[in-house]
């Protein structure tokens, strides 16, 4: 029997704001594409790089979105990704971890039913998911981390009284471990605080350097001021990403952790430029954590730099 883990106190109720139906590319899974084949709706699909996507209108909205923010495919052939949004499911040796995208305003506002109420409708999706961590997790190139050690790394961050400091220590420890995988990760975690003294060097310098690089890559002007922003939404978001196991899928663990380490800097920047912590978290979720696909080269270079960091 599979264990299910839900984030404590997280609620959701779709308000049909339509936000998740615009902006990004909407992928159509093979089963849904087959169901739509030969129907008039198939003309609104496009094929790219061997995958199928929904065409968007001039305002970048999904072409199946009605003026009242309803989905034309809702009862017939809604793509799997759309059916699942905003839920995030990650299958691991310890069971299924359920989280949700903070791009969704209802998740940020924490309105509606407890996420655990949605378990029956999520069960079908889980059977097809890979089990991340069963054979260790890829840290970088050939270096792998055992699942139990990953859980230790995660606990180190979550139990640290200052979450951002815990993230910095975890990043330094994992980067060092990737250079010496024969050693015990725990030793690095225990020595991280001393290794990172004084606290403003050198991870902070690296943080600024990569924040500026990524900002330029995203086509935005980096902000060099020391920026303040409410801490509670950021802390809640970082904890949610860790709880939903957002570090372990897609790319190598070190790259994911490096991106998460940079999220606070981006959050403060977007809070200043957009004037709202909620908007800032949405940007972090969309551009840094969930859809950093066009950042792959940069993330690779960034991970290399963090691996070469020797602050001792």
Q: Which is nearer to ligand SF4, 69 or 213 (CB)?
A: 69
- Under 8 Å between Cβ of 68 and 109: no
Q: From the CB of 242, what's the least distance to ligand SF4, in Å?
A: 22
Q: Which is nearer to ligand SF4, 15 or 63 (CB)?
A: 15
- Under 8 Å between Cβ of 244 and 88: yes
Question: What is the distance of C-alpha 143 from the center of its chain?
Answer: 22
For residues 18 and 72, give the distance between their C-alpha atoms in angstroms, rounded to a whole number: 13
In eight-state DSSP terms, residue 201 is S
| DSSP assignment string, 125-141 | HHTTS-BTBBTBEEEET
Q: Which is nearer to ligand SF4, 26 or 288 (CB)?
A: 26
Q: Which is nearer to ligand SF4, 15 or 155 (CB)?
A: 15
Structure tokens at 245: 């196991």
Q: Is the dihedral of CA 52, 58, 62, 64 positive or negative?
A: negative
| Site for ligand SF4, rule CB under 6 A | 14-20, 85-86, 104-106
Q: From the CB of 234, what's the least distance to ligand SF4, in Å?
A: 20
For residues 241 and 101, give the distance between their C-alpha atoms in angstroms, rounded to a whole number: 9
Q: Which is nearer to ligand SF4, 14 or 215 (CB)?
A: 14
Q: From the CB of 118, what's the least distance to ligand SF4, in Å?
A: 12
Q: From the CB of 124, what's the least distance to ligand SF4, in Å?
A: 19
Residues in contact with 130: Cβ distance below 8 Å, sequence separation at least 6, in sequence order: 91
> Beta-strand (E) ranges in the chain?
4-5, 11-12, 27-28, 45-48, 51-54, 87-92, 95-100, 113-114, 137-140, 143-145
Q: From the CB of 78, what's the least distance to ligand SF4, in Å?
A: 12
Q: From the CB of 101, what's the least distance to ligand SF4, in Å?
A: 8
Q: What angle do CA 270, 274, 280 make, to 5 degrees?
A: 45
Residues in contact with 306: Cβ distance below 8 Å, sequence separation at least 6, in sequence order: 171, 172, 175, 206, 254, 258
Q: Which is nearer to ligand SF4, 104 or 192 (CB)?
A: 104
Q: From the CB of 209, what's the least distance to ligand SF4, in Å?
A: 34
Q: Which is nearer to ligand SF4, 149 or 285 (CB)?
A: 285
Angle between helices 185-195 and 163-179 (to 10 degrees): 120
Q: From the CB of 17, what's the least distance to ligand SF4, in Å?
A: 4
For residues 186 and 234, give the distance between their C-alpha atoms in angstroms, rounded to a whole number: 27
Q: Which is nearer to ligand SF4, 81 or 130 (CB)?
A: 81
């Amino acid at each position: 029997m599979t264990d299910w883990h839900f984030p404590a106190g997280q609620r959701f109720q779709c308000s049909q704001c339509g936000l998740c139906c615009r902006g990004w590319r909407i992928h159509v899974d093979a089963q849904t594409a087959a169901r739509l084949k030969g129907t008039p709706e198939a003309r609104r699909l496009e094929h790219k790089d061997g995958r199928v996507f929904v065409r968007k209108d001039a305002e970048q909205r999904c072409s199946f979105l009605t003026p009242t923010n309803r989905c034309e495919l809702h009862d017939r052939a809604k793509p799997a990704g759309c059916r699942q949004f905003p839920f995030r499911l990650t299958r691991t040796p310890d069971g299924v971890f359920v989280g949700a995208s903070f791009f969704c305003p209802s998740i940020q506002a924490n309105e509606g039913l407890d996420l655990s109420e949605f378990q029956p409708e999520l069960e079908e999706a889980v059977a097809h998911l890979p089990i991340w961590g069963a054979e260790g997790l890829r840290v970088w190139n050939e270096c792998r981390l055992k699942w139990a050690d990953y859980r230790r790394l995660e606990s180190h961050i979550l139990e640290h009284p200052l979450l951002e400091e815990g993230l910095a220590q975890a990043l330094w420890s994992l980067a060092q471990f990737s250079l010496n995988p024969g050693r015990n990760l725990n030793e690095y975690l225990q020595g991280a605080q001393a290794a990172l003294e004084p606290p403003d060097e050198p991870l902070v310098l690296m943080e600024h350097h990569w924040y500026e690089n990524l900002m330029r890559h995203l086509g935005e002007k980096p902000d060099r001021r020391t920026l303040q922003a409410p801490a509670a939404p950021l802390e809640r978001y970082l904890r949610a990403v860790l709880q939903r196991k957002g570090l372990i899928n897609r790319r190598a663990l070190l790259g994911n952790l490096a991106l998460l380490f940079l999220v606070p800097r981006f959050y403060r920047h977007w809070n200043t430029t957009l004037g709202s912590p909620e908007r800032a978290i949405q940007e972090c979720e969309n551009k840094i954590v969930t859809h950093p696909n066009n950042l792959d080269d940069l993330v690779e270079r960034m991970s290399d730099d963090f691996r070469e960091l020797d602050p001792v």
